[in-house]
């Protein structure tokens, strides 16, 4: 048996406002902050910075203690985006280099207190970012906002996740995709069908025009959604397009007599 994750790290710094200004440039807003400490969340790990309890001293990272921290990214594009963030913030860095040992791309730089930091490329070997999705899903589950007003025939950006096998996935870092509301059950749930700009043909699909684009509604990927998966409303589909989807869905899911 072994621990499942690194829960938190605490680093001592000389100046909290300076630390916040530095780390906000690539981590975004902290999850908590006061005059004595600040906390950022990276995956499941919380990174705390606090003021010293004794006289502040800078340690030589090459002689003892912590040498460096490496924050993982999954693609070269992500690494390049963080490089741009560092450039925008005026933070001196190494540029993208290749690790001699791991043969992976990385960028290193130092924070105001001398801590060595890296963004390190660690591709997902399974090509599925389930951990990233679980973190978002946990936040959605804990959200306590009221259900938004929605109705049948609307299309919403929804958090649909990183899924298995032939199940359709969300896109981007937050795993979202346009979802057509086929049937509203109550103010908390609905039957939704995913949309794609990729044109597909066959009885599993219906072609519609939405948002001035030809799109495909996947009739075989329908599922029940909780309202907390809503991100933002995209618009209302035209009635004749809605009718095409309804007829296609009924035809696909009607059982023939034995």
pLDDT confidence band for 228 (50 / 70 / 90): very high
pLDDT confidence band for 48 (50 / 70 / 90): very high
Residue 61 placed within a domain: no
Residue 258 placed within a domain: no
Residue 125, pLDDT > 70, answer no
DSSP 8-class letter at 145: P
Residue 189 placed within a domain: yes
Average pLDDT in the 65-80 region? 87
| Stretch among 93-107, 116-130, 173-187 having the lowest mean pLDDT | 116-130
Average pLDDT in the 72-83 region? 90
Residue 102, pLDDT > 80, answer no
- How many angstroms from the chain centroid is the CA of residue 41? 13
In CATH, what number is assigned to the domain containing residue 114?
3.10.180.10
pLDDT score recorded for residue 59: 75
In CATH, what number is assigned to the domain containing residue 200?
2.30.30.110
Q: Which CA distances in Å does 28 have to 36, 119, 139, 182, 236?
A: 19, 15, 17, 37, 33
Domain match, 239 and 139 both: yes
Domain match, 179 and 152 both: yes
- Measured CA to CA, the distance from residue 32 to residue 10 in angstroms comes to 14
Domain match, 98 and 144 both: no
pLDDT score recorded for residue 80: 94
pLDDT score recorded for residue 129: 77
Q: Residue 41 belongs to what domain range? A: 8-55+66-121
pLDDT score recorded for residue 172: 85
Q: Which CA distances in Å does 139 have to 136, 143, 223?
A: 5, 6, 21
Q: What is the pLDDT of residues 140-191, one digit of tens each?
A: 998 888 999 999 999 999 999 988 888 999 988 899 999 999 999 999 999 9
Residue 116 placed within a domain: yes
What burial class does residue 181 get, using C-beta atoms within 10 Å of its C-beta: 0-12 exposed, 13-18 middle, 19+ buried?
A: buried
pLDDT score recorded for residue 243: 97
Residue 47, pLDDT > 80, answer yes
- The residue ranking higher by pLDDT, 75 or 158, is 158
Domain match, 147 and 238 both: yes
What burial class does residue 229 get, using C-beta atoms within 10 Å of its C-beta: 0-12 exposed, 13-18 middle, 19+ buried?
A: buried
Residue 1 placed within a domain: no
Residue 3 placed within a domain: no
Tokens for 135, please give them.
């973190």
pLDDT score recorded for residue 124: 67
Domain match, 153 and 227 both: yes
Residue 257 placed within a domain: no
Domain match, 221 and 187 both: yes
Q: Where are the beta strands (DSSP E) in 18-173?
A: 32-33, 37-42, 45-50, 68-73, 97-98, 105-110, 116-121, 154-159
Domain match, 139 and 237 both: yes
Side-by-side strand order, sheet with 37-42: 8-12, 45-50, 37-42, 32-33
Domain match, 113 and 147 both: no
Q: pTM for this one?
A: 0.58
Q: What backbone torsions phi and psi does residue 90 show, to the nearest 5 degrees?
A: 70, 25
Q: Which of 75, 100, 121 is the last residue of a domain?
A: 121
How many domains is the chain built from? 2
pLDDT score recorded for residue 143: 85
Residue 126, pLDDT > 60, answer no
Domain match, 146 and 115 both: no
């Amino acid at each position: 048996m072994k621990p499942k994750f690194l829960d938190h790290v605490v680093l001592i710094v000389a100046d909290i406002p300076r630390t916040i200004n530095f780390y906000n440039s690539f981590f975004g807003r902290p999850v908590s902050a006061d005059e004595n400490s600040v906390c950022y969340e990276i995956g499941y790990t919380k990174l705390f910075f606090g003021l010293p309890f004794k006289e502040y001293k800078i340690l030589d990272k090459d002689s003892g203690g912590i040498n460096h921290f490496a924050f993982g990214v999954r693609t070269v594009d992500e690494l390049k985006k963080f490089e741009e963030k560092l450039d925008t913030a005026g933070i001196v860095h190494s540029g993208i280099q290749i690790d001699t040992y791991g043969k992976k791309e990385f960028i290193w730089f130092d924070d105001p207190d001398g801590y060595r930091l890296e963004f390190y490329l660690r591709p997902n070997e399974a090509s599925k970012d389930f951990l990233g999705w679980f973190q978002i899903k946990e936040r959605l589950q804990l959200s306590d906002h009221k259900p938004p007003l929605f109705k049948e025939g609307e299309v919403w950006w929804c958090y649909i996740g990183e899924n298995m096998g032939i199940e359709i996935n969300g896109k981007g870092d937050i795993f979202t995709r346009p979802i057509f509301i086929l049937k509203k059950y109550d103010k908390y749930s609905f039957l939704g069908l995913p949309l794609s700009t990729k044109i597909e043909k066959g009885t599993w699909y219906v072609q519609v025009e939405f948002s001035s684009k030809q799109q495909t509604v996947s009739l075989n990927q329908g599922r029940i959604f909780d309202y907390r998966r809503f991100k933002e409303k995209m618009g209302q589909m035209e009635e004749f397009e809605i009718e095409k989807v309804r007829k296609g869905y009924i035809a696909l899911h009607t059982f023939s007599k034995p």
